[in-house]
Amino acid sequence: MLLLRRARGAVPPALQLLTAPTSTALLAARHSQCVLRSSGATRDMSSAGAGDSNERDSTSREGVDVLVDRSGLFHPPADPSPVVRPGDSPLESHLRSLIHFRGGPLTVAELVHEALTHPTHGYYMTRDVFGAAGDFVTSPEISQMFGELIGVWTASLWQQLGTPKKLCLVELGPGRGTLMADLLRFADSLPALRDALSVHFVEVSPALRRLQASALDCESTAAPIGTGRTRDGNVSVTWHADFGTVPDEEDTPIVVLAHEFFDALPVHQFQRTPDRGWVERLVDVTHSASDTAALRFVLSPGPTAASKMLVPQRLAAVPQAVAPTVQAMELCPKGMAIWQGIARRVATRRGGALAIDYGDEGPLAFTLQAIKQHAFCDDLLAGVGTADLSAHVDFGALRMAASQVPGVQCHGPVTQRHLLASLGIEHRLQALLASCTDERQSEALYAGALRLVGQEEAVRATGDAAVPAPPPGMGVRYKCMAMVNADLGPPVGFEALK
């Protein structure tokens, strides 16, 4: 068969990106087990005609809560009862009541927090939102190669650290646990690394904790899930509500993975105005039961505490000539606080961190979007709580936060295409193809690899317009940033950066 001959011979030109270092290529190729999974649409919803997510999950995020002076923003009606709208979702009713009784609008960050992690009505708290039956699919669900290559990156950093006997491996926002399951399967080929690992998941959703325990084949998947071991007994697994409770042991370096984690954190939105300076975008109630949406966006009458604190800090980190041209800004103080907290742990215990998400150097304008049933929602505020909320990551803001911690160095961002090529995706694909027994398996491997590193828009395999085009590649939309001890030098995938 032509396809099978191709599968066992040449690799598609799209995958012939970079030559991975010999040692990294050997790591990528050494594990040859072929386990195929079904693919689906990415969280960036490129297949719906727009730009990409871990991991969209409900992890509790440590950080800074910015309060807003609401005086002058809202005048409660004479009737103290909030407007009742028969079509409102439970979360919409909760938000309208919250705004009413607090006496003014919510910040966008407060909206995101309530919509995603409200204990009863939050999007992530009670359901499996991943896969074809959910609202998005992430890179680990597309191909086993993604998690295995993140395992290569982890193994390479472990070697840079001198192969310590203990290594604390943390994943923020683990989703279904697929990435870690693939990583641990790769680690089985390096027994010294596997024996050094203790795995820590930062996750608050009971539903997702059960899925993660199942993915890692832990001894028990019954709630509440707090600790366990993989069924083979090789690796301990512990769940945490926030990063602050991850053990901080003097003789244990730490590696933190954050795949599509930061894009789900609450963001504040700011707008420059000609007469009021930088004001904040807020969320208020609509004032009539006939309005099509329960909520609406408004601007604060003047600068808020958040705009006074966050905007000048971010503008100070951009080129002086660029700052006056920035007219809108979206910032995530919780994300910056978490990245800085990781930096402090890395500085004192040694190790590193890898963040993979869709985003850019920044500063970024309004990127927050709602995603439902594999498509972007036209109205961000319509049906809040029933859709995922996602914002592009400002990697420049993360670097700014880490720069305040001596002893660590951020590298990147680079594209996912660049990182996976450097980690040896071509070699890994060849090793897996050698074990394929039929055309279907080889085709699935090709499709998954191309989707992970592809940069071109998708093209239909036939001329029939009724046949949907496959999703575009994720290789350029996704960016990767690493942070390690300054004396270690750049980790694999970031060596050629200046």
Asked if the model's pLDDT at residue 40 lies above 50, the reply is no
pLDDT at 61: 42
Q: Give the residue from 153, 150, 9, 12 showing the smallest Cα distance to 455.
A: 12
What mean pLDDT do residues 62-67 have?
53
* Residue 400, φ and ψ in degrees, nearest 5: -60, -40
Which pLDDT score is estimated for 456? 59
Distance between CA atoms of residues 177 and 185, nearest Å: 12
Q: Which whole number is the average pLDDT over 317-340? A: 96
pTM: 0.81
Lowest mean pLDDT among 77-91, 431-445, 453-467: 453-467
> Which range is least confidently modeled, 5-14, 15-24, 26-35, 288-297?
5-14
pLDDT band at 85; cut points 50, 70, 90: low
Range 1-498 classified under CATH 3.40.50.720:
no
Residue 116 and residue 173 in contact, taking contact as beta carbons nearer than 8 Å: no
The DSSP line for 253-316 is -EEEEEES-GGGS--EEEEEETTTEEEEEEEEE-S-TTSSSSEEEEE-SS--HHHHHHHHHHHH
Q: Which residue's entry shows tokens 């009737």?
A: 79
Residue 105 has pLDDT above 80, yes or no: yes
Q: Which residue has the higher pLDDT, 82 or 227?
A: 227
Residue 6 has pLDDT above 70, yes or no: no
Q: Which residue has the higher pLDDT, 137 or 274?
A: 274
Strand pairing report for 369-372 and 295-299: unpaired
Q: How many other CB atoms are found less than 10 A from the CB of residue 426?
A: 23
To the nearest whole number, what is the mean pLDDT of the chain? 80
Please, which pLDDT band fits residue 31 given cuts at 50, 70 and 90? Answer: low
Q: What pLDDT, on a 0 to 100 scale, did the predictor assign at position 340?
A: 98
Residue 153, pLDDT above cutoff 90: yes
From 356, 407, 497, 493, select the one nearest 20 (Cα to Cα): 493
pLDDT of residue 59: 41
Mean pLDDT along residues 138-146: 87
- DSSP class of residue 92 equals H
For CA atoms 243, 348, 169, 413, the dihedral sign is positive
* Token couple for 102: 């607090």
Residue 302 to residues 71, 100, 109, 277, 324, Cα–Cα distance (Å): 11, 21, 18, 7, 19
| Residues 346, 344: Cα–Cα separation, whole Å | 5
What average pLDDT score do residues 372-382 get? 72
